[in-house]
Structure 1
Protein backbone atom coordinates (compact mmCIF):
# COMPACT_ATOMS: atom_id res chain seq x y z
CA UNK A 1 0.00 0.00 0.00
CA UNK A 2 1.23 3.53 -0.82
CA UNK A 3 0.75 6.65 1.29
CA UNK A 4 -1.76 7.99 -1.25
CA UNK A 5 -3.79 4.78 -1.03
CA UNK A 6 -3.68 4.96 2.77
CA UNK A 7 -4.90 8.58 2.66
CA UNK A 8 -7.88 7.48 0.54
CA UNK A 9 -8.62 4.75 3.08
CA UNK A 10 -8.18 7.07 6.09
CA UNK A 11 -9.12 10.61 4.93
CA UNK A 12 -8.30 12.24 8.30
CA UNK A 13 -4.65 11.33 7.66
CA UNK A 14 -4.57 14.18 5.12
CA UNK A 15 -4.66 16.70 7.98
CA UNK A 16 -1.17 15.49 8.84
CA UNK A 17 0.35 14.75 5.43
CA UNK A 18 -1.05 17.49 3.21
CA UNK A 19 2.20 19.53 3.27
CA UNK A 20 4.66 16.64 3.22
CA UNK A 21 7.37 17.42 0.61
CA UNK A 22 6.99 15.33 -2.53
CA UNK A 23 10.46 13.78 -2.33
CA UNK A 24 9.80 12.65 1.25
CA UNK A 25 6.37 11.36 0.23
CA UNK A 26 8.00 9.27 -2.50
CA UNK A 27 10.20 7.57 0.12
CA UNK A 28 7.35 6.91 2.56
CA UNK A 29 6.50 3.28 3.22
CA UNK A 30 3.37 1.78 4.79
CA UNK A 31 3.70 -1.13 7.18
CA UNK A 32 1.16 -3.23 9.11
CA UNK A 33 1.96 -4.44 12.64
CA UNK A 34 -0.05 -7.43 13.88
CA UNK A 35 -1.85 -7.27 17.23
CA UNK A 36 0.55 -8.20 20.01
CA UNK A 37 3.68 -7.35 18.04
CA UNK A 38 6.33 -4.85 19.13
CA UNK A 39 6.39 -1.66 17.06
CA UNK A 40 9.57 -0.43 18.66
CA UNK A 41 11.67 -1.48 21.61
CA UNK A 42 12.97 0.60 24.50
CA UNK A 43 16.58 1.78 24.21
CA UNK A 44 16.84 1.10 20.46
CA UNK A 45 18.40 3.67 18.15
CA UNK A 46 15.56 5.46 16.39
CA UNK A 47 15.97 5.69 12.65
CA UNK A 48 12.40 6.46 11.61
CA UNK A 49 9.24 8.47 12.29
CA UNK A 50 5.78 6.96 11.94
CA UNK A 51 2.19 8.12 11.70
CA UNK A 52 -0.28 5.50 12.94
CA UNK A 53 -3.27 5.72 10.60
CA UNK A 54 -5.23 2.78 12.04
CA UNK A 55 -5.14 0.78 15.24
CA UNK A 56 -4.52 0.99 18.96
CA UNK A 57 -1.18 0.60 20.70
CA UNK A 58 0.15 0.79 24.23
CA UNK A 59 3.28 2.45 25.57
CA UNK A 60 5.11 0.43 28.20
CA UNK A 61 8.30 0.67 30.21
CA UNK A 62 10.20 -2.56 30.70
CA UNK A 63 12.67 -3.03 33.53
CA UNK A 64 15.62 -5.37 33.94
CA UNK A 65 13.81 -7.41 36.62
CA UNK A 66 11.14 -8.33 34.08
CA UNK A 67 8.42 -6.02 35.40
CA UNK A 68 6.35 -4.08 32.91
CA UNK A 69 4.67 -0.73 33.61
CA UNK A 70 2.07 0.56 31.18
CA UNK A 71 2.34 4.31 30.67
CA UNK A 72 -0.59 4.90 28.32
CA UNK A 73 -2.62 3.53 25.44
CA UNK A 74 -3.19 5.44 22.21
CA UNK A 75 -5.52 5.17 19.24
CA UNK A 76 -4.98 6.42 15.71
CA UNK A 77 -4.11 8.90 14.62
CA UNK A 78 -0.93 8.61 16.63
CA UNK A 79 2.81 9.07 16.16
CA UNK A 80 5.78 6.74 16.51
CA UNK A 81 9.09 8.23 17.57
CA UNK A 82 7.96 11.83 17.90
CA UNK A 83 9.05 12.23 21.52
CA UNK A 84 12.56 10.93 20.79
CA UNK A 85 12.93 13.21 17.76
CA UNK A 86 11.54 16.34 19.44
CA UNK A 87 13.79 15.68 22.45
CA UNK A 88 16.80 15.34 20.18
CA UNK A 89 17.68 11.97 21.70
CA UNK A 90 19.20 9.06 19.75
CA UNK A 91 17.41 6.17 21.46
CA UNK A 92 13.84 5.32 22.35
CA UNK A 93 12.74 5.64 25.98
CA UNK A 94 9.77 3.24 25.85
CA UNK A 95 8.46 0.13 24.15
CA UNK A 96 5.37 0.40 21.94
CA UNK A 97 3.20 -2.68 21.46
CA UNK A 98 0.30 -3.07 19.05
CA UNK A 99 -2.94 -3.86 20.89
CA UNK A 100 -4.88 -4.21 17.64
CA UNK A 101 -3.52 -4.29 14.10
CA UNK A 102 -1.65 -1.04 13.43
CA UNK A 103 -1.16 0.49 9.99
CA UNK A 104 1.73 2.97 10.05
CA UNK A 105 3.21 5.32 7.45
CA UNK A 106 6.99 5.53 7.94
CA UNK A 107 9.66 7.97 6.83
CA UNK A 108 13.29 8.11 7.88
CA UNK A 109 14.34 10.14 10.90
CA UNK A 110 16.41 12.38 8.65
CA UNK A 111 13.38 13.10 6.46
CA UNK A 112 11.20 13.64 9.55
CA UNK A 113 13.61 16.17 11.06
CA UNK A 114 13.66 18.12 7.79
CA UNK A 115 9.86 17.96 7.46
CA UNK A 116 9.35 19.17 11.04
CA UNK A 117 11.74 22.08 10.44
CA UNK A 118 10.00 23.16 7.22
CA UNK A 119 6.28 22.48 7.88
CA UNK A 120 4.64 24.35 10.78
CA UNK A 121 1.50 22.22 10.39
CA UNK A 122 3.15 18.87 11.20
CA UNK A 123 5.30 20.51 13.88
CA UNK A 124 2.17 21.91 15.55
CA UNK A 125 0.36 18.58 15.39
CA UNK A 126 3.24 16.53 16.80
CA UNK A 127 3.94 19.13 19.51
CA UNK A 128 0.27 19.24 20.53
CA UNK A 129 0.14 15.47 20.58
CA UNK A 130 3.21 15.26 22.80
CA UNK A 131 1.89 17.99 25.09
CA UNK A 132 -1.45 16.17 25.42
CA UNK A 133 0.32 12.98 26.50
CA UNK A 134 2.29 14.95 29.09
CA UNK A 135 -0.88 16.68 30.30
CA UNK A 136 -2.74 13.38 30.63
CA UNK A 137 0.16 11.77 32.45
CA UNK A 138 0.56 14.73 34.82
CA UNK A 139 -3.17 14.92 35.50
CA UNK A 140 -3.35 11.26 36.52
CA UNK A 141 0.09 10.96 38.10
CA UNK A 142 -0.04 9.48 41.60
CA UNK A 143 -3.49 7.89 41.34
CA UNK A 144 -2.04 4.37 41.43
CA UNK A 145 -0.19 5.19 44.63
CA UNK A 146 -3.08 6.62 46.61
CA UNK A 147 -6.30 4.96 45.44
CA UNK A 148 -7.31 1.40 46.45
CA UNK A 149 -7.50 -1.41 43.84
CA UNK A 150 -11.31 -1.28 43.64
CA UNK A 151 -11.20 2.40 42.71
CA UNK A 152 -8.51 1.85 40.09
CA UNK A 153 -10.40 -1.02 38.44
CA UNK A 154 -13.76 0.80 38.37
CA UNK A 155 -12.10 3.95 37.07
CA UNK A 156 -10.53 1.87 34.29
CA UNK A 157 -13.90 0.24 33.57
CA UNK A 158 -15.69 3.60 33.30
CA UNK A 159 -13.03 5.06 31.01
CA UNK A 160 -13.12 1.93 28.84
CA UNK A 161 -16.91 2.07 28.64
CA UNK A 162 -16.83 5.75 27.69
CA UNK A 163 -14.26 5.00 24.99
CA UNK A 164 -16.55 2.36 23.50
CA UNK A 165 -19.72 4.47 23.53
CA UNK A 166 -21.56 3.19 26.59
CA UNK A 167 -22.81 6.70 27.42
CA UNK A 168 -23.70 7.62 23.83
CA UNK A 169 -27.33 8.23 22.76
CA UNK A 170 -27.42 4.72 21.25
CA UNK A 171 -25.14 2.71 23.55
CA UNK A 172 -24.25 -0.95 22.99
CA UNK A 173 -26.20 -3.39 25.16
CA UNK A 174 -22.99 -4.26 26.95
CA UNK A 175 -19.26 -3.66 26.75
CA UNK A 176 -16.62 -6.32 27.30
CA UNK A 177 -13.10 -5.33 28.30
CA UNK A 178 -11.07 -7.40 25.86
CA UNK A 179 -7.91 -7.47 27.96
CA UNK A 180 -6.14 -10.44 29.51
CA UNK A 181 -5.49 -10.38 33.25
CA UNK A 182 -1.82 -9.77 32.47
CA UNK A 183 -2.62 -6.70 30.38
CA UNK A 184 -5.05 -5.41 33.01
CA UNK A 185 -2.36 -5.84 35.66
CA UNK A 186 0.08 -3.76 33.62
CA UNK A 187 -2.44 -1.11 32.62
CA UNK A 188 -4.01 -0.61 36.03
CA UNK A 189 -0.79 -1.07 37.99
CA UNK A 190 -1.78 -3.72 40.55
CA UNK A 191 -0.45 -7.27 40.83
CA UNK A 192 -2.38 -10.25 39.46
CA UNK A 193 -3.29 -11.67 42.87
CA UNK A 194 -4.80 -8.35 44.01
CA UNK A 195 -6.46 -7.87 40.63
CA UNK A 196 -8.17 -11.27 40.75
CA UNK A 197 -9.38 -10.66 44.31
CA UNK A 198 -10.71 -7.22 43.33
CA UNK A 199 -12.50 -8.61 40.29
CA UNK A 200 -14.22 -11.26 42.42
CA UNK A 201 -15.29 -8.69 45.00
CA UNK A 202 -16.66 -6.15 42.50
CA UNK A 203 -18.45 -8.88 40.54
CA UNK A 204 -20.18 -10.00 43.74
CA UNK A 205 -21.21 -6.39 44.37
CA UNK A 206 -22.86 -6.27 40.94
CA UNK A 207 -20.62 -3.79 39.15
CA UNK A 208 -20.10 -6.20 36.24
CA UNK A 209 -20.34 -9.82 35.15
CA UNK A 210 -17.73 -12.09 33.63
CA UNK A 211 -18.08 -13.45 30.11
CA UNK A 212 -15.44 -16.09 29.33
CA UNK A 213 -13.35 -14.51 32.08
CA UNK A 214 -13.61 -10.98 30.67
CA UNK A 215 -15.22 -8.06 32.54
CA UNK A 216 -18.58 -7.29 30.92
CA UNK A 217 -21.00 -4.52 31.89
CA UNK A 218 -24.11 -2.71 30.71
CA UNK A 219 -25.23 0.92 30.93
CA UNK A 220 -26.81 0.47 34.37
CA UNK A 221 -23.64 -1.06 35.81
CA UNK A 222 -21.55 1.65 34.16
CA UNK A 223 -23.65 4.34 35.86
CA UNK A 224 -23.42 2.45 39.16
CA UNK A 225 -19.61 2.49 38.88
CA UNK A 226 -19.65 6.20 38.01
CA UNK A 227 -21.74 6.98 41.08
CA UNK A 228 -19.44 4.92 43.32
CA UNK A 229 -16.37 6.73 41.99
CA UNK A 230 -17.92 10.16 42.55
CA UNK A 231 -18.73 9.23 46.17
CA UNK A 232 -15.20 7.87 46.70
CA UNK A 233 -13.65 11.09 45.38
CA UNK A 234 -15.70 13.20 47.80
CA UNK A 235 -14.47 11.31 50.83
Structure 2
Protein backbone atom coordinates (compact mmCIF):
# COMPACT_ATOMS: atom_id res chain seq x y z
CA UNK A 1 0.00 0.00 0.00
CA UNK A 2 1.30 3.46 -0.91
CA UNK A 3 0.66 6.71 0.93
CA UNK A 4 -1.82 7.69 -1.79
CA UNK A 5 -3.66 4.38 -1.33
CA UNK A 6 -3.73 4.96 2.44
CA UNK A 7 -5.26 8.41 2.09
CA UNK A 8 -7.83 7.12 -0.37
CA UNK A 9 -8.80 4.29 1.96
CA UNK A 10 -8.88 6.51 5.09
CA UNK A 11 -9.67 10.10 4.01
CA UNK A 12 -9.64 11.43 7.60
CA UNK A 13 -5.88 10.92 7.74
CA UNK A 14 -5.22 13.20 4.75
CA UNK A 15 -4.83 16.38 6.81
CA UNK A 16 -1.80 14.95 8.63
CA UNK A 17 0.13 14.70 5.37
CA UNK A 18 -0.80 18.10 3.91
CA UNK A 19 2.63 19.67 4.48
CA UNK A 20 4.74 16.55 4.90
CA UNK A 21 8.30 17.20 3.61
CA UNK A 22 8.64 15.72 0.15
CA UNK A 23 11.78 13.78 1.00
CA UNK A 24 9.90 11.81 3.67
CA UNK A 25 7.25 10.56 1.25
CA UNK A 26 9.54 7.75 0.18
CA UNK A 27 10.72 6.79 3.67
CA UNK A 28 7.81 5.08 5.37
CA UNK A 29 6.12 1.72 5.83
CA UNK A 30 2.45 0.83 6.20
CA UNK A 31 1.73 -2.22 8.32
CA UNK A 32 -1.41 -4.14 9.21
CA UNK A 33 -1.42 -5.60 12.74
CA UNK A 34 -3.94 -8.34 13.61
CA UNK A 35 -5.96 -8.21 16.87
CA UNK A 36 -4.00 -9.01 20.01
CA UNK A 37 -0.64 -7.82 18.65
CA UNK A 38 1.79 -5.96 20.90
CA UNK A 39 2.92 -3.03 18.76
CA UNK A 40 5.45 -1.91 21.32
CA UNK A 41 6.36 -3.02 24.81
CA UNK A 42 6.91 -0.94 27.93
CA UNK A 43 10.58 -0.18 28.71
CA UNK A 44 11.78 -1.08 25.21
CA UNK A 45 13.70 1.36 22.97
CA UNK A 46 11.46 3.29 20.56
CA UNK A 47 12.89 3.97 17.11
CA UNK A 48 9.75 4.86 15.13
CA UNK A 49 6.56 6.94 15.15
CA UNK A 50 3.19 5.64 13.97
CA UNK A 51 -0.19 6.99 12.88
CA UNK A 52 -3.03 4.54 13.56
CA UNK A 53 -5.31 4.99 10.55
CA UNK A 54 -7.85 2.26 11.35
CA UNK A 55 -8.65 -0.12 14.18
CA UNK A 56 -8.75 0.14 17.98
CA UNK A 57 -5.90 -0.39 20.40
CA UNK A 58 -5.40 -0.17 24.12
CA UNK A 59 -2.66 1.47 26.15
CA UNK A 60 -1.68 -0.59 29.18
CA UNK A 61 0.81 -0.35 32.03
CA UNK A 62 2.44 -3.59 33.12
CA UNK A 63 3.98 -4.04 36.53
CA UNK A 64 6.67 -6.37 37.84
CA UNK A 65 4.14 -8.28 39.95
CA UNK A 66 2.27 -9.28 36.79
CA UNK A 67 -0.66 -6.89 37.17
CA UNK A 68 -1.87 -5.07 34.09
CA UNK A 69 -3.78 -1.78 34.18
CA UNK A 70 -5.48 -0.36 31.08
CA UNK A 71 -4.83 3.37 30.89
CA UNK A 72 -7.09 4.02 27.91
CA UNK A 73 -8.60 2.57 24.77
CA UNK A 74 -8.05 4.57 21.60
CA UNK A 75 -9.73 4.73 18.23
CA UNK A 76 -8.34 6.16 15.00
CA UNK A 77 -6.95 8.59 14.17
CA UNK A 78 -4.30 8.14 16.86
CA UNK A 79 -0.52 8.08 17.30
CA UNK A 80 2.11 5.69 18.56
CA UNK A 81 5.28 6.91 20.23
CA UNK A 82 4.57 10.63 20.15
CA UNK A 83 4.81 11.11 23.93
CA UNK A 84 8.07 9.19 24.25
CA UNK A 85 9.67 11.11 21.39
CA UNK A 86 8.46 14.56 22.44
CA UNK A 87 9.61 13.83 26.01
CA UNK A 88 13.03 12.96 24.55
CA UNK A 89 13.00 9.56 26.22
CA UNK A 90 14.68 6.51 24.73
CA UNK A 91 12.28 3.88 26.03
CA UNK A 92 8.51 3.61 26.04
CA UNK A 93 6.51 4.07 29.24
CA UNK A 94 3.52 1.93 28.21
CA UNK A 95 2.59 -1.11 26.16
CA UNK A 96 0.30 -0.79 23.14
CA UNK A 97 -1.84 -3.77 22.12
CA UNK A 98 -4.26 -3.96 19.20
CA UNK A 99 -7.88 -4.80 19.98
CA UNK A 100 -8.94 -5.06 16.33
CA UNK A 101 -6.98 -5.17 13.09
CA UNK A 102 -5.00 -1.92 12.87
CA UNK A 103 -3.46 -0.21 9.85
CA UNK A 104 -0.50 1.90 10.93
CA UNK A 105 1.62 4.37 8.96
CA UNK A 106 5.17 4.15 10.35
CA UNK A 107 8.20 6.37 9.99
CA UNK A 108 11.56 6.42 11.75
CA UNK A 109 11.98 8.42 14.92
CA UNK A 110 14.66 10.54 13.25
CA UNK A 111 12.38 11.38 10.31
CA UNK A 112 9.47 12.15 12.64
CA UNK A 113 11.64 14.60 14.58
CA UNK A 114 12.61 16.28 11.31
CA UNK A 115 8.97 16.35 10.20
CA UNK A 116 7.63 18.14 13.28
CA UNK A 117 10.55 20.60 13.13
CA UNK A 118 9.47 21.66 9.64
CA UNK A 119 5.68 21.23 9.71
CA UNK A 120 3.88 23.39 12.29
CA UNK A 121 0.47 22.14 11.05
CA UNK A 122 1.42 18.54 11.78
CA UNK A 123 2.95 19.46 15.14
CA UNK A 124 -0.24 21.26 16.11
CA UNK A 125 -2.35 18.18 15.30
CA UNK A 126 -0.03 16.04 17.42
CA UNK A 127 -0.08 18.40 20.41
CA UNK A 128 -3.85 18.82 20.17
CA UNK A 129 -4.33 15.07 20.50
CA UNK A 130 -1.94 14.87 23.46
CA UNK A 131 -3.65 17.82 25.16
CA UNK A 132 -7.07 16.22 24.65
CA UNK A 133 -5.94 13.00 26.32
CA UNK A 134 -4.41 14.91 29.24
CA UNK A 135 -7.59 16.96 29.63
CA UNK A 136 -9.72 13.81 29.66
CA UNK A 137 -7.41 12.15 32.16
CA UNK A 138 -7.34 15.22 34.45
CA UNK A 139 -11.11 15.63 34.26
CA UNK A 140 -11.72 12.04 35.36
CA UNK A 141 -8.82 11.68 37.78
CA UNK A 142 -9.87 10.85 41.31
CA UNK A 143 -13.12 9.12 40.39
CA UNK A 144 -11.73 5.73 41.37
CA UNK A 145 -10.76 7.09 44.77
CA UNK A 146 -13.86 9.19 45.41
CA UNK A 147 -16.69 6.96 44.15
CA UNK A 148 -17.63 3.49 45.48
CA UNK A 149 -17.29 0.34 43.30
CA UNK A 150 -21.04 0.31 42.62
CA UNK A 151 -20.83 3.67 40.90
CA UNK A 152 -17.68 2.84 38.92
CA UNK A 153 -19.00 -0.44 37.56
CA UNK A 154 -22.45 0.98 36.86
CA UNK A 155 -20.93 3.96 35.06
CA UNK A 156 -18.80 1.56 33.03
CA UNK A 157 -21.84 -0.53 32.09
CA UNK A 158 -23.88 2.53 31.12
CA UNK A 159 -21.16 3.71 28.76
CA UNK A 160 -20.88 0.22 27.29
CA UNK A 161 -24.66 -0.01 26.85
CA UNK A 162 -24.84 3.38 25.17
CA UNK A 163 -21.97 2.49 22.84
CA UNK A 164 -23.80 -0.69 21.84
CA UNK A 165 -27.11 1.12 21.18
CA UNK A 166 -29.21 -0.37 23.96
CA UNK A 167 -32.06 2.05 23.20
CA UNK A 168 -32.45 0.28 19.85
CA UNK A 169 -31.61 -3.29 20.83
CA UNK A 170 -33.46 -3.27 24.17
CA UNK A 171 -30.71 -5.24 25.94
CA UNK A 172 -26.94 -5.66 25.96
CA UNK A 173 -24.60 -8.39 27.15
CA UNK A 174 -21.14 -7.50 28.40
CA UNK A 175 -18.89 -9.94 26.55
CA UNK A 176 -15.84 -9.32 28.70
CA UNK A 177 -14.07 -11.47 31.24
CA UNK A 178 -13.71 -10.40 34.84
CA UNK A 179 -10.00 -10.05 34.17
CA UNK A 180 -10.70 -7.70 31.26
CA UNK A 181 -12.96 -5.56 33.47
CA UNK A 182 -10.29 -5.55 36.17
CA UNK A 183 -7.70 -4.19 33.74
CA UNK A 184 -10.01 -1.38 32.66
CA UNK A 185 -11.35 -0.35 36.05
CA UNK A 186 -8.38 -1.11 38.29
CA UNK A 187 -10.50 -3.15 40.71
CA UNK A 188 -9.73 -6.61 42.01
CA UNK A 189 -11.70 -9.51 40.55
CA UNK A 190 -13.09 -10.16 44.03
CA UNK A 191 -14.45 -6.60 44.22
CA UNK A 192 -15.92 -6.88 40.72
CA UNK A 193 -17.73 -10.12 41.56
CA UNK A 194 -19.03 -8.68 44.83
CA UNK A 195 -20.22 -5.53 43.05
CA UNK A 196 -21.94 -7.50 40.29
CA UNK A 197 -23.79 -9.50 42.94
CA UNK A 198 -24.92 -6.29 44.69
CA UNK A 199 -26.07 -4.62 41.46
CA UNK A 200 -27.96 -7.76 40.51
CA UNK A 201 -29.66 -7.87 43.93
CA UNK A 202 -30.67 -4.23 43.40
CA UNK A 203 -32.23 -5.16 40.06
CA UNK A 204 -29.92 -2.90 38.04
CA UNK A 205 -28.31 -5.69 36.01
CA UNK A 206 -28.80 -9.37 35.25
CA UNK A 207 -26.52 -12.25 34.36
CA UNK A 208 -26.70 -14.96 31.74
CA UNK A 209 -24.17 -17.79 31.52
CA UNK A 210 -21.79 -15.79 33.68
CA UNK A 211 -22.02 -12.64 31.56
CA UNK A 212 -23.52 -9.35 32.78
CA UNK A 213 -26.70 -8.26 30.99
CA UNK A 214 -28.66 -5.03 31.14
CA UNK A 215 -32.17 -4.41 29.81
CA UNK A 216 -33.41 -1.05 28.62
CA UNK A 217 -35.51 -0.71 31.80
CA UNK A 218 -32.44 -1.43 33.93
CA UNK A 219 -30.45 1.03 31.84
CA UNK A 220 -32.94 3.82 32.58
CA UNK A 221 -32.95 2.98 36.29
CA UNK A 222 -29.15 2.84 36.38
CA UNK A 223 -28.90 6.31 34.88
CA UNK A 224 -31.01 7.64 37.73
CA UNK A 225 -28.78 5.80 40.22
CA UNK A 226 -25.68 7.42 38.71
CA UNK A 227 -27.35 10.83 38.92
CA UNK A 228 -27.90 10.20 42.64
CA UNK A 229 -24.18 9.64 43.20
CA UNK A 230 -23.00 12.73 41.33
CA UNK A 231 -25.38 15.21 42.98
Scaled by the length of structure 2, the TM-score of the pair is 0.92
Partners of 2:10 and 2:207 lie apart in 1 by 35
Give the match for residue 179 of structure 2.
182
Q: Structure 2: which 5+ residue stretches go unaligned?
A: none
Match of residue 152 from structure 1: 152
Equivalent residue number for residue 124 of structure 1:
124
1:34: which partner in 2?
A: 34
1:1-235 maps to which residues of 2 (within 5 A)?
Answer: 1-166=1-166, 171-234=168-231
Question: Relative to 1, partners in 2 of residues 1:156 and 1:88: Cα closer, same or farther, differing over 3 Å?
Answer: same
**Cα-to-partner distance string for 1:30-70 (whole Å, 9 max, x where unaligned):** 11222222111111111011011111111111111111122
| RMSD, matched Cα | 1.8
1:84 deviates by 0.8
Say if 1:16 and 1:172 are closer, same or farther in 2 by CA, change over 3 A: farther
CA distance, structure 2, for counterparts of residue 17 and residue 221 of structure 1 = 46
Provide the rounded CA distance (Å) in 2 between the counterparts of 1:218 and 1:15: 41
Number of equivalenced pairs: 231
Query: Match of 2:43, SS?
Result: coil
Deviates more, 1:183-192 or 1:199-208: 199-208
Q: CA deviation at 1:165?
A: 4.2
Distance 2:117 2:211 in 1: 46
Q: Choose 204-213 or 61-70, whichever is displaced more.
A: 204-213
Deviation track 1:122-165 (CA, whole Å, cap 9, x = no partner) reads 11111011111111111111211222111110111122233344
Give, in whole Å, the separation in 2 of the partners of 1:131 and 1:172.
35
1:217 offset after TM fit, Å? 2.7
Cα distance in 2 for partners of 1:88, 1:221 equals 49
Q: 1:230 and 1:174 mapped to 2: Cα distance? A: 21
Alpha-carbon shift at residue 212 of structure 1 (Å): 4.5
- CA distance in 2 between partners of 1:173 and 1:15 (Å): 39
